[in-house]
Amino acid sequence: MELQKSFLDPRTKLLLVFVEATLVLATAGGERLVVFRLAFTVLPFLLLLTAKCYSACIVGMLVLTVTEMLKYFVFQSSNGTLSFLLLMAITLITRFLPAYLMGVYVIRTTKVSEFKAAMERMHVPDELTIPMCVMFRFFPTVREEGTSIRAAMKMRGIGLGGGKASEMLEYRVVPMISCSAKIGEELSASALTRGLGKNRKRTNICKIGFGVADYIVMVVVMVMIIYWMAGYFGSVG
């Protein structure tokens, strides 16, 4: 059986998430890194294409394009509250979207065991790795449960329309927590009977390792850091 390796190593993906978060979301580095920021805004879209997540890619593109157009055409000529709201929306979307899409890419393309293997290679303790692995499995589960609960509320005619908002929240959240907790319990029982325990040696048949793409990403990130440091210390000295 062919066990294929994914395009990027899980460790590289983690690095990319970190870079998206600091460079694009938190805009670290300021004006000097604007070219890199642009590159890293585009990168998640390209990665989504390599993973064949076309719909996420296209929707993301559209949202980003509309936001940019708003920024250049509407925002310039607006004032008052509208201007404030627009600024908020534009900042949120342009900063968060690339990081979010990178997250989508990582979740869609990383297998739990690949992730676990990568964490083991980096000597991250199991106490941290296992809960993170469970999260991979758990988010889609919670979403599935949430969809069913929303459907049930709709069917019973309990919607945001007539009711009180606080009750709506309670109605949504309470069954979601109890369903998720129950699934979590069963999941743990099943994993325990198949030998998942802490601090034991385990094998991993996943093939992970750095390839050309990984090195390119790393070199780009390194160059960026050096360029940034040169500017930073250059201006100080």
Partner 1 sequence: MIQFEHVDFTYEANSETPSLRDISFTVKTGECVLLAGASGCGKSTLLRLLNGLIPEFYPGERKGRVLIEGREISNQEIYDLVGRIGTVFQNPRAQFFNVDTTSELVFGCENLALPEEEIVKRLEKTVADFHMEKLMNRSIFELSGGEKQRIACASVATLHPEIILLDEPSANLDFEGTENLRQMLAAWKELGKTILIAEHRISYVWDIVDRVLYLEEGRLRADWHKEELVNFTEETCQKYGLRSLVRSSPMMFVTPEGYRLEQNTAVTKAVKEQADQIVLRDFSYTYRHGATFRVRELRLPRYKVTAIVGANGTGKTTFLECLSGIRKNKGKLYLAEGENAGQDAAENGLGRAYSGRRCQKLIFMVMQDPNHQLFTESVLDEVLVSMPEEDEDKARVILEEVDLAQYADRHPMSLSGGQKQRVAIACAIASKRPILLLDEPTSGLDRKHMLEVAELLKRLKEQGRTIITVTHDSEFIRICCDEVMELSEVSA
- Contacts with partner 1 by CB under 8 A lie at 1, 3, 111-113, 133-134, 136-137, 140-141, 144-145, 148-149, 151-158, 170-172, 174-175, 178-179, 182-183, 186-197, 200-206
In angstroms, give the least distance from the CB of 210 to partner 1.
19
Is residue 214 within 8 Å of 8, Cβ to Cβ? yes
Our CB check for partner 1 shows the closer of 4 and 79 to be: 4
Our CB check for partner 1 shows the closer of 134 and 213 to be: 134
Helix (H, G, I), strand (E, B) or coil at 182: helix
In angstroms, give the least distance from the CB of 145 to partner 1.
7
- C-alpha dist (Å) from residue 8 to 11, 77, 125, 201: 8, 43, 23, 25
Residue type present at position 105: Y
In angstroms, give the least distance from the CB of 60 to partner 1.
18
Our CB check for partner 1 shows the closer of 91 and 148 to be: 148
The answer for residues whose C-beta is within 8 angstroms of residue 99's C-beta and 6 or more apart is 17, 20, 21, 24, 25
Our CB check for partner 1 shows the closer of 5 and 219 to be: 5
Residues in the chain: 237
Quick one: three-class SS letters along 107-120? HHHCCHHHHHHHHH
The answer for residues whose C-beta is within 8 angstroms of residue 74's C-beta and 6 or more apart is 86
Our CB check for partner 1 shows the closer of 74 and 151 to be: 151
Helix 54-69 with 80-109: angle, nearest 10 deg: 160
In angstroms, give the least distance from the CB of 152 to partner 1.
4
In angstroms, give the least distance from the CB of 8 to partner 1.
17
Our CB check for partner 1 shows the closer of 79 and 123 to be: 123
In angstroms, give the least distance from the CB of 143 to partner 1.
9
- Residue 103: count other Cβ atoms within 10 Å of its Cβ: 15
C-alpha Rg value of the chain to the nearest Å: 22
